[in-house]
């Protein structure tokens, strides 16, 4: 199974790999298309503050949440469970259910900070790639990128003789 990804222009004039998918967060009544940068340097998949505001998620602090530092800013991580639906190479939907995702809420909630962090995109990190046993391929020479998951090997039962050894 292969999921094509898109290589697009980004902030600094460099190209970046994006994943376009549909995200469902039932606890927050979110069901919509979404895009995230595939960041093999990030251990965590996250919804950025800008996208959280766009989704209508509550931007407030809850005590005891873990602090994540990203791009020089500190964020509280609010954890949600989501389903990610991708379009595979055969144009069929492929679901990844029960995905833990961090919503990044800046530790400072003043207007200047919210404006500064709004340029930070949502990320698909290595947790998503590892947990779903995906291979991430990016060839900058051909501007192609994709996720791939090997189909499980078919289980082949071999007949055994009475001594328990295979024939």
Partner 1 sequence: MNEPTTSDTDILKAIEATEKSRNWISKHYDELRAKYQGKVFAVKDEAVIDSNASVTDLLEDVKKKGEDTALLVIESIPQKGVAYIL
- Contact set with partner 1 (CB under 8 A): 6, 8-12, 18, 20-22, 24, 26, 29, 31-35, 37, 39, 41-42, 50-51, 53-54, 70-72, 85-87, 91-93, 111, 114-115, 118-121, 123
* Displacement of CA 51 from its chain's centroid (Å): 13
User: Closer CB to partner 1, residue 83 or residue 165?
Assistant: 83
At closest approach, how far in Å is the CB of 59 from partner 1?
9
User: Closer CB to partner 1, residue 93 or residue 160?
Assistant: 93
At closest approach, how far in Å is the CB of 43 from partner 1?
12
* Displacement of CA 140 from its chain's centroid (Å): 20
User: Closer CB to partner 1, residue 76 or residue 122?
Assistant: 122
User: Closer CB to partner 1, residue 64 or residue 112?
Assistant: 112
At closest approach, how far in Å is the CB of 71 from partner 1?
4
At closest approach, how far in Å is the CB of 42 from partner 1?
7
At closest approach, how far in Å is the CB of 115 from partner 1?
6
SS (H, E, C) the chain: CEEEEEEEECCCCCEEEEEEEEEEEHHHCEEEEEEEEECCCCCCCEECHHHHHHHCCCCCCCCCCCEEEECCEEEEEEEEEEEEEEECCCCCEEEEEEEEEEEEEECCCCHHHHHHHCCCCCEECHHHHHHCCCEEEEECCCCEEEEECCCCCCCCCCCECCCCCEC
User: Closer CB to partner 1, residue 141 or residue 165?
Assistant: 141
């Amino acid at each position: 199974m292969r999921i094509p990804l898109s290589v697009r222009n980004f902030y600094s004039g460099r190209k970046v790999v994006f994943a376009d998918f549909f995200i469902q967060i039932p606890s927050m009544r979110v069901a919509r298309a979404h895009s995230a940068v595939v960041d093999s340097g990030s251990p965590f998949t996250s919804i950025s503050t800008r996208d959280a505001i766009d989704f209508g998620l509550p931007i407030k602090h809850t005590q005891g949440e873990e602090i994540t530092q990203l791009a020089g800013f500190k964020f509280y991580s609010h954890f949600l469970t989501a389903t990610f639906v991708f379009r595979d190479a055969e144009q069929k939907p492929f679901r990844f259910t029960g995905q833990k995702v961090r919503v990044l809420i800046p530790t400072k909630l003043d207007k200047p900070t919210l404006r500064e962090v709004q340029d930070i995109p949502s990320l698909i990190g290595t947790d998503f790639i590892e947990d779903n046993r995906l291979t991430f391929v990016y060839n900058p020479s051909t501007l192609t990128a994709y996720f791939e998951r090997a189909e499980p090997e078919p289980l082949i039962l071999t007949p055994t003789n009475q001594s328990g050894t295979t024939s």
